[in-house]
Structure 1
Amino acid sequence: MLQGFSERLYTSPFSTYLRTEFWIIPVSQTIHILCVAIVIASAAAISARMVGVMGRDQPLADFAKARAVWVFAALIGLVLTGSVQTLAEPEREFGNPIYLTKMALVLVATGLSGVFLILLKRQTPLSTGGRIFGFLLVFLWALITICGRWIAYL
């Protein structure tokens, strides 16, 4: 089913345009990588704050909220640039189990990030489990980054 859809999408005028304009894919990939860096750096900073390594002068909720704006702006950038890359080469993406794994991990990490922010907004104190949760988020975003790099090689 995905293969037929991918083939039709690949031969569409829009997909062809994205592939043949020499600047679109490199610019999209560059912006995508910068957005990934923002997400990873923000998640790492929040985790570092959770364990008291940085930003101790600011409440965790305020610290996380300030970085969440960057994360969600970067996520919008990732969706837009990822869509360009997927539309340009749908067969490469939809036929790749690493791509599908990456997309599933993105959904999980985004959902867990939302839960984390809701807990902070409610002023729920973070126990050791909360700190582990923070490290899990960093791990998930790092794993998503690794999957993103491996898509090109499988």
Structure 2
Amino acid sequence: MNPLAAPLALDGGALGHLMRSARWLYPIVEIVHIFGFVLLVGSVLMFDLRLLGLNRQLPLTLMSRHLLRWSMASLLLVVPAGLLMFSAHPQDFIGNRVFLLKMTLIMTAGLNAAIFHTGVWRGVAKWDSGQAAPASARAHAALSMLLWLSVIACGRLLAYT
């Protein structure tokens, strides 16, 4: 069975047709997607900047609890909006190298976050406030920033590829 059969079937479906034919639906969904990414990447970047040493007096655990809520809430906007946009032109997206790179970068960013939270983050009590985060935590933060900014660049480049 072709693993692309289900995504490509969206092209002929009612949802894909609606996304292509309703004049303002695609732009509205795209705005929701962008707004969600602002919340997601903004939250991530604020946390990463703190890990890199900005405002060391702010406890990381407190920032994490606060910003994680915003990150999770943003996924309620980003994921459904992204799927709706994908449903409008699945064949175009699946064949687009920039889209595939964007998806790979998102998965890599998620993996980076998972490794960070199951690894170095477990020792945060030692460097929660007033001290520099360990080099490995700073490396995760720098990689996170690079990955998410690259995701944004790919998302923007999709309009031109």
TM-score normalised by length of structure 2: 0.82
Q: Which residue of 2 aligns with 1:9?
A: 10
Output one character per residue of 1:9-31: Cα deviation in whole Å (capped at 9) or x when no partner.
32222211121112211111101
How far is 1:89 from its partner?
1.2
Q: Note the aligned Cα RMSD (angstroms).
A: 2.2
2: CA distance, partners of 1:139 / 1:25: 28
Query: Is the Cα contact below 8 Å between 1:16 and 1:88 reproduced in 2?
Result: yes
1:141 to 128, 132, 148: 148
Query: Is the Cα contact below 8 Å between 1:3 and 1:95 reproduced in 2?
Result: no
Q: Which residue of 1 aligns with 2:130?
A: none
Query: Is the Cα contact below 8 Å between 2:16 and 2:88 reproduced in 1?
Result: yes
Query: Is the Cα contact below 8 Å between 1:39 and 1:141 reproduced in 2?
Result: no
Go from structure 1 to structure 2 and tell me whether the alpha carbon gap of 1:4 and 1:111 turns closer, same or farther (over 3 Å shift): closer
Q: Which residue of 2 aligns with 1:129?
A: 136
Show structure 1 runs of 5+ residues with no match: none
Specify the code of the residue in structure 2 equivalent to 1:58: L
Counterpart mapping for 1:48-63 below 5 A = 48-54=49-55, 56-63=56-63
Q: Which residue of 2 aligns with 1:39?
A: 40
Say which SS state the counterpart of residue 58 (structure 2) adopts.
Answer: coil
Output one character per residue of 1:51-74: Cα deviation in whole Å (capped at 9) or x when no partner.
3322x3332122123112211221
TM-score normalised by length of structure 1: 0.86
Specify the code of the residue in structure 1 equivalent to 2:64: A
Q: Which residue of 2 aligns with 1:101?
A: 101
How many correspondences in the alignment? 153
Q: Percent identity?
A: 24
Query: Is the Cα contact below 8 Å between 2:120 and 2:137 reproduced in 1?
Result: no
Q: Which residue of 2 aligns with 1:71?
A: 71
Show structure 2 runs of 5+ residues with no match: 128-132
Task: Answer yes or no: is 1:25 the counterpart of 2:26.
Answer: yes
Task: Answer yes or no: is 1:80 the counterpart of 2:80.
Answer: yes
Q: Which residue of 2 aligns with 1:113?
A: 113
